[in-house]
Structure 1
Amino acid sequence: MFKIIEKEEIHTIIPLVEKLNDYKISVNVLKGRFNEMVTQNYECAGIYDNDTLIGVCGLWFCTRHYSGKSVEVDHVYIDDNYRGKGLGKDFFTWIYNYVILKGYESVELNTYVNNYASHKFYYNEDFKILGYHFLKKL
């Protein structure tokens, strides 16, 4: 089952988000950041197997000059035990339909350079590479 995670339940995604990064961010820092994120143009979709959260995808809503009303998907993760079964494709179909109903016209994302499995998935979903993502920590 796919659904938007209620703001009050946002911390339930932290165990899955922690698996995304090679570097470690403390749980307290993640809680603080997600508390702030849910006050911005952010929602988080979840995949549930009964009552167990097995996948997540953050959704940032904005308008961009080059893509119009756009949703940037963020921190996409599906538990290892549920991969390779078509769940990612079904999840993204659900996300596309959800954001279209909200009046959005494009989806964009970043993915880690060494995450080759995600590259293949996004190519198969007809995403195109438009540029590079740069980050400078201050």
Structure 2
Amino acid sequence: MAIVFKVLEMEKINSVIPLVYELNKGNIPKEVLEQRFSEMVTQNYECAVILDGDNLVGVCGLWFCTRHYSGRSVEPDHVYIEETYRGQGLGKKFFSWIYEYVRRKGYEVVELNTYVSNPQSHKFYFNEDFKILGFHFLKKL
């Protein structure tokens, strides 16, 4: 396994669509994801990926901002690793790489949301020393 972690070139952003589509269990059409990602790359967003050789096997969006309560902050988003690569410590290695990457960029806090229906992710983030700070609310307009 020749695993590489890196930030994806923005012109290649559509290569993550199949993984994000799978993460959302097909509930968001690929055309909608393509349109949204084309907007996201113009905002404070980067996309970290896991490559096994030339194969894209993992993805994690990174949103950068400054918050009044935590300072310079990065929010990992749409974290997904292909099922056949899970359970091998790859998520832990990926997040270690992300922590170092954002630390070098001058960020001091990592915050994230995870779906209540995904207890496997909760266990992972607790093991990474994340603490529950509050609730995430969503209202569609």
- TM-score scaled to structure 2, two decimals? 0.96
CA-atom RMSD in angstroms: 0.8
Mapped to 1, the partners of 2:107 and 2:100 lie a distance apart of 10
1:51 to partner: Cα distance: 0.4
1:26 to partner: Cα distance: 1.4
Alignment of 1:9-48 (within 5 A): 9-22=12-25, 24-48=27-51
Partner of 2:52: 49
1:22 to partner: Cα distance: 4.3
- The counterpart of 2:8, out of the listed 5, 8, 14, is 5
Mapped to 1, the partners of 2:117 and 2:15 lie a distance apart of 27
- The counterpart of 2:95, out of the listed 80, 92, 95, is 92
How many residues align structurally?
Answer: 138
Name the CA shift for 1:23/1:132 in 2 (closer, same or farther; >3 Å): farther
Identity of aligned residues (%): 70
Runs of 4+ in 1 over 6 A off after TM superposition: none
Mapped to 1, the partners of 2:60 and 2:135 lie a distance apart of 21
The one-character-per-residue Cα deviations of 1:28-76 (angstroms, maximum 9, x if unpaired) are 1111100000000000000000000000000000000111000000000
- The counterpart of 1:72, out of the listed 66, 72, 75, is 75
Helix, strand or coil for the counterpart of 1:109? coil
Mapped to 1, the partners of 2:80 and 2:29 lie a distance apart of 18
Mapped to 2, the partners of 1:65 and 1:132 lie a distance apart of 18
Gaps of 5+ in 1: none
Gaps of 5+ in 2: none
- TM-score scaled to structure 1, two decimals? 0.98
